Amino acid sequence: MLDEKTGQWMAIPGVAGIAAGTSKGKPCIKILTTSNPSEIKEKFPSTIEGYPVIFEETGTFRAIGSN
């Protein structure tokens, strides 16, 4: 399911990444953001296929060795 939606979700401004993860020891979908997650939360449902959607502000990612 993540593979199907990742491109669409990554096109949303402020989204830095999408990951399967855990929260409080349970599986979840993590939306990694470059800025305040509250601005992005309204663009996602609270659960996807029964998994909670968790937002985490991470900032921008860069490849090692890039400027």
67 falls within a domain: no
Q: Over the stretch 16-52, which tens digit does the pLDDT of each residue have?
A: 999 999 999 999 999 999 988 887 899 999 999 899 9
63 falls within a domain: no
**Number of Cα atoms under 13 Å in the Cβ half of residue 46:** 0
pLDDT of residue 67: 59
* Rounded-to-integer distance, Cα 57 and Cα 50, Å: 23
34 falls within a domain: yes
21 falls within a domain: yes
pLDDT of residue 61: 77
Q: How many CB atoms lie within 10 A of CB 7?
A: 9
**Number of Cα atoms under 13 Å in the Cβ half of residue 3:** 0
Q: How many distinct structural domains can be found in the chain?
A: 1
**Number of Cα atoms under 13 Å in the Cβ half of residue 47:** 5
* Rounded-to-integer distance, Cα 17 and Cα 56, Å: 10
Q: Over the stretch 50-59, which tens digit does the pLDDT of each residue have?
A: 999 999 998 8
Domain that holds residue 27: 2-7+16-45+52-57
